[in-house]
Chain A
Amino acid sequence: MILFISGLAIVMIASSHSADKKVYETARLKNEVNEMRSAFIDGRSKLMQLKMESAVVGKMKEKGLSPSVIPPKKIKVKSQN
């Protein structure tokens, strides 16, 4: 009887410890998610600045390229057998 109860007690203590461990783990992962997110936004924001047309035009000016003044032409084939 005493053995059984102490066995139960050990199981209880173990599970409570494992629960605690999970809390630490979630906290750590949450931090990681935040960091990843932050890194993503950081990269995204840099990309957005870089790919903006005005930025590209500025960079290409050095190479002597400028945006076209006439629109591109698209040829659409209606039927294709």
Chain B
Amino acid sequence: MAVNEKGILNRLYFIAGCMFIFGVAVVFKLLSIQFLQGDKYRAMAQERIVKDVVIPANRGNVYSANGNLLATSVPKYDIRIDAITPTLKTFEKYLKPLSDSLSKYSGKSSSYYQKEIRKARANKNRYYLLARNIGYSDYIRIRNFPLLNLGAFKGGLIEEQTTKREHPMGGIAQRTIGYERFDEKGNVTRPGIDGAFGEKYLRGKPGKRKKQQIGKGQWKPLSDANEVEPKDGKDVYTTINVNIQDIAHHALLEQLEKYKADHGCVVVMETKTGEVKAIANLGRNSLGNYYERRNYAVWESHEPGSTFKLMALAAALEDKVIDTSDVVDTKKGRLTFYGKHVDDSNHKGYGKITVSKAFELSSNTGIVTAIDHAYKEKPSKFVDRLYDMSLNEKLGLPIIGESSPIIPDPRIKNKRWSGIALQWMAFGYGVSFTPLQTLTFYNAIANDGVMVKPQFLKEVKEFDRVVKPYKVEVINKQVCSKETVAKVQQLLKNVVEKKHGTGHRLYSENFSMAGKTGTCQKDYRDKEKLNYISSFAGYFPADNPKYSCIVVIHEPEKGIGYYGADVSGPVFKKIAQKIFTDTPIIDEVESLKVKRVSTEKEYESFYKIAQTYKTIMPNVVGLPAMDALVLLENMDVNVKVKLDGRGIIKEQSINKNVKLKNNQTIVLKAS
């Protein structure tokens, strides 16, 4: 192209045109961002600096009946170190003292920590874990260790706080207090009270609020009020009594350890209200230590064995087909039905005895003979009577995982019924109940026939306001007639009081109790695996019962012992004794003004002597030493009194009516 004016102009137009198109493109892009994609980008920008913050609601606390904390949420801390932040100089200077302190805290060697932290620095680890899930006092302690006390920017300290559910009572009643736990998939496990009432009361509702970022990782609320106010969870007051729980827990633990048993449980229930005062469930881990493993009392349905004889006998007495005074033949300790044997534990029987004695001795043959005789024509009548006593229904507990009771029924075809079902039921086989279900029936007997539902909660509170009180719930107004109740109450009392009773070893002169022992075989189909369940169910005091209690211990070591009275009985007795010694005996007197003629007279004569003898010696022979001392020391002259003995004065060294001088010594002899 020629270099002339036109050529230059053309080039100028071309450049200008290009720049114009570029400008248009820029404007177009701007407009497109602003208007076409504007909404999207604006939303993105909003998200960066403004967010909806969920305000978590505080979870409610679980309290015991007397206001002790059983479960609460507390902050826990993880402590980490950023191994690169400290300068080489500070790092080298403080590494050893830090490792020493850490070693003192955790028990691991100091050189271990030195090596690990050095390795973390070499690997450029900015997030090396020192301690996880520690409580406040440990957190403060670690934070003050050398290097870490320099803080985040110089020492590389990283602290993270999370909220954890804590049981201040430790392992005691842990399974019943429970928790609510969510895993990554959103599944919930919720044992115990904390779990059962989590959704309804404890959890509360989280709130929401818009917040804007302002730096230092802080967010500032955008508006005055929360968009959604968080609602804190309500506090749940359980019926558990910490003192009784403590006794029950440790008494059970002691027996489990003594008999090397697999697991066991205790429940203490208030008779009138059904309030569960204590519930302990201990199972053994692979190391042989016991801990609250599962809620056996609520969950584990098992064949009750002899403790079921109470239900069987109550049914028969109610149907008036047996009376306690009827005589049964224990047949040398063995009965045979369809080739299967019912044996007595002494293997020789007790001869001909009354039904009541058969119960007190816990004679299998005696009770089976009686029940077989009464119901063999129409076993469904027996089953119906058990139904009438509400034994076939679940208790409907709030705690999740209650098993259904099992009672074989000839009219239901489920292979549970057989030719020997009735006879085996009579001594507690073929049927199955959880400890709490068995206890509920025993409690009904203690409560004169009124069956009440076991209660775990007393009330739900929001601050000091009661949101929901829990009242007594009656399951069955009268499980059996008053006469039947009176009869079986007497039997239960005899088990402990009578010399021949299976529970007589638990007898104590100081306080009364009533109950039934149970020694039940478990896994009996295979002789190799045969084990025992030792139980004791009953109530105390025997008259006007206050509490009922069941103790069930599974698989005690056979070599050490397995009878209900030996293994489980002592736990029952310990609880009964404790409650007895903790309840003061109250004596009421009408008034403090008690007049006793002799006391009045003594006082009068004392007063007279005190008024008359000021400087001369009175006759103090015959007076108590205390009185004589008071008289002589309060005279107008200062005398020294030497006293021999402590009772009534026999001799005085200075005779009556002799004038006394200052600083004179009087010797008194007392018996």
Binding site for B on A (CB under 8 A): 19-20, 23-24, 27, 31, 34-35, 37-39, 41-42, 44-45, 48-49, 52-54, 67-81
Contact = CB atoms under 8 A, between A and B. Distances in A.
Q: Name the interface size band of chain B.
A: 35 or more
Secondary structure at the B interface, as helix, strand, loop or mixed, is mixed
Nearest to A53: B246
Contact of B74 (A31, A37, A72): A37
B135 A74 contact: no
Interface string B403-434: 00000000000000000000000000000000
Contacts of B216: 24
Given A23-B219, A53-B243, A73 B590 contact: no
B37 interface: no
A71 B580 contact: yes
A38 B69 contact: no
A52 B591 contact: no
Nearest to A31: B161
Given A37-B74, A42-B136, A69 B214 contact: no
Contacts of A19: 220
B74 A71 contact: no
Contact of A69 (B161, B510, B593): B510
A81 B580 CA distance: 33
B469 interface: no
Q: Which 5 A-B pairs have the closest CB atoms?
A: A38-B136, A45-B168, A74-B584, A34-B75, A54-B250
Interface of B: 68-69, 72, 74-76, 135-137, 139, 161, 166, 168-170, 172, 214, 216, 218-221, 242-243, 246-247, 249-250, 510, 577, 580-593
B464 to A, nearest CB: 19
Contact of A38 (B75, B510, B582, B590): B75
Contacts, number: 107
B584 A49 contact: no
B142 to A, nearest CB: 14
A16 B221 CA distance: 11
B584 A24 contact: no
A71 B168 contact: no
Contacts of A27: 218
A25 to B, nearest CB: 10
Contact of A74 (B214, B250, B586): B586
A54 B580 CA distance: 17
A78 B510 contact: no
Contact of B585 (A35, A39, A52, A71): A71
Contacts of B136: 35, 38-39, 41-42
A70 B139 CA distance: 46
A73 B587 contact: yes
A44 B168 contact: yes
B549 to A, nearest CB: 17
Given A20-B220, A74-B585, A81-B591, A35 B75 contact: yes
Contacts of A45: 166, 168-170
A73 B590 CA distance: 16
